[in-house]
């Protein structure tokens, strides 16, 4: 089969013929129909992710495809099923896995697309327990973005931020793959949204998806604008998809009792918060990690019902992955783009 390989960290993606992976007893072989491209793919190939420490790697953890074969012990999916997948390899029996919080599994085994051969290829293998079926009404490119680009903000806003109707939320990085779905989800939950990103194209999409107000953060801090928008109160929730570059403005934008939920930190890993300010304002700073399988089923239902629109702004062959990665590095990608092997 055709696959794109990372043969050395920091090196190019190399297109090669490799053997089709064989599913283990608990795995399914998936014919890949779409694989979304994530910022995390860049971190992995650059050698900047500690758990990705040996090559070759076939990237690709945002998967949609058709079950081509199943291992001997698999009965949850069958050949021909249309599926997408959660992203992590989890143990299935720790207290977190048993209570539907498997993304914080105590015996975490790794990631699709690092510790399994990923979906920048014609075929991939996935543990059957990760797979969720998708109906005919959801296209494969749309299906490939559900677990991460839609699921991540779904978990962050429903379980972590506990976003309430009538609250005000700021989405930092609102034009990216996770942001465009966070804006829609927050609107669906009855909140008022301020979208922060860079560039007219991203911000007009955020507005189209339901943001009440938008802010271009090219040259300035957004916190005073956020104060003005909220009549001086600050926002109830800030969803952080950017990291160190915006943490300070995000904290300054929070209302008393506000919650900052950190989902992404690709601009750096330092967070400086004043304990005094946290006490005085009863701020909550929360991490949020991806989406559980149960929540992914809910996401599939919302998308199938037309309540959330997956934003896929381009579909490209594997051969163009390198060019797509360069555009992603330059922050030029709006929503998600998808590879079609
Ligand atoms: Zn576990």
Average pLDDT over residues 266-282: 90
* pLDDT more than 90, % of the chain: 95
CA of 93 relative to ligand 1 center, distance in Å: 5
CA of 108 relative to ligand 1 center, distance in Å: 6
Q: What pLDDT does residue 320 have?
A: 97
CA of 109 relative to ligand 1 center, distance in Å: 9
- Rounded CA separation 313/10 (Å): 27
Q: pTM (2 decimals)?
A: 0.96
Mean confidence (pLDDT) of the chain: 96
- Rounded CA separation 251/58 (Å): 38
- Contact, 308 vs 187, CB < 8 A? no
CA of 51 relative to ligand 1 center, distance in Å: 17
Average pLDDT over residues 212-225: 93
- Rounded CA separation 234/239 (Å): 13
Average pLDDT over residues 122-134: 98
CA of 267 relative to ligand 1 center, distance in Å: 29
- Rounded CA separation 154/299 (Å): 7
15-33 tens-digit pLDDT: 999 999 999 999 999 999 9
CA of 67 relative to ligand 1 center, distance in Å: 25
Which one is predicted more confidently, 255 or 266?
Answer: 255
- Rounded CA separation 321/233 (Å): 44
Q: Beta-carbon neighbour count of residue 75 at 10 Å?
A: 7
CA of 296 relative to ligand 1 center, distance in Å: 17
């Amino acid at each position: 089969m055709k696959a794109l390989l990372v043969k050395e960290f920091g090196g190019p993606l190399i297109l090669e013929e490799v053997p089709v992976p064989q599913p283990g007893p608990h795995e399914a072989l998936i014919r890949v129909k779409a694989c979304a491209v994530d910022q995390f793919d860049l971190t992995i190939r650059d050698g900047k992710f500690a758990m990705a420490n040996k090559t070759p790697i076939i990237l690709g953890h945002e998967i949609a495809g058709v079950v081509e074969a199943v291992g001997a012990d698999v009965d949850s999916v069958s050949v021909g099923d249309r599926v997408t997948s959660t992203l992590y390899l989890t143990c299935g029996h720790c207290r977190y896995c048993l209570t539907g919080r498997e993304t914080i599994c105590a015996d975490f085994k790794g990631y699709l697309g690092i510790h399994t051969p990923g979906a920048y290829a014609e075929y991939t293998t996935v543990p059957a327990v990760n797979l969720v079926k998708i109906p005919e009404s959801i296209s494969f490119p749309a299906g490939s973005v559900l677990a991460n680009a839609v699921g991540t903000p779904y978990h962050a806003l429903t379980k972590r931020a506990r976003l309430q109707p009538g609250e005000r939320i700021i989405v930092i990085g609102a034009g990216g793959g996770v942001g465009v779905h966070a804006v829609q989800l927050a609107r669906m939950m009855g909140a008022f949204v301020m979208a922060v990103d860079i560039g007219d194209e991203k911000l007009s999409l955020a507005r189209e998806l339901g943001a009440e107000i938008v802010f271009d953060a090219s040259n300035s801090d957004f916190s005073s604008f956020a104060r003005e928008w909220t009549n001086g109160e600050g926002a109830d929730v800030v969803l952080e998809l950017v990291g160190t570059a915006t943490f300070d403005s995000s904290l300054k934008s929070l209302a008393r009792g506000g919650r900052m939920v950190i989902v992404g930190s690709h601009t750096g890993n330092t967070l400086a918060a004043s304990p005094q300010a946290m006490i005085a304002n009863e701020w909550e700073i929360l991490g949020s990690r991806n989406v559980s399988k149960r929540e992914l089923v809910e996401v599939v239902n919302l998308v199938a019902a037309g309540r959330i629109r997956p934003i896929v702004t381009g579909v490209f062959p594997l051969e163009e992955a390198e060019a797509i990665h360069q555009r992603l590095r330059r922050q030029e990608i709006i929503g998600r783009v998808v590879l079609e092997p």
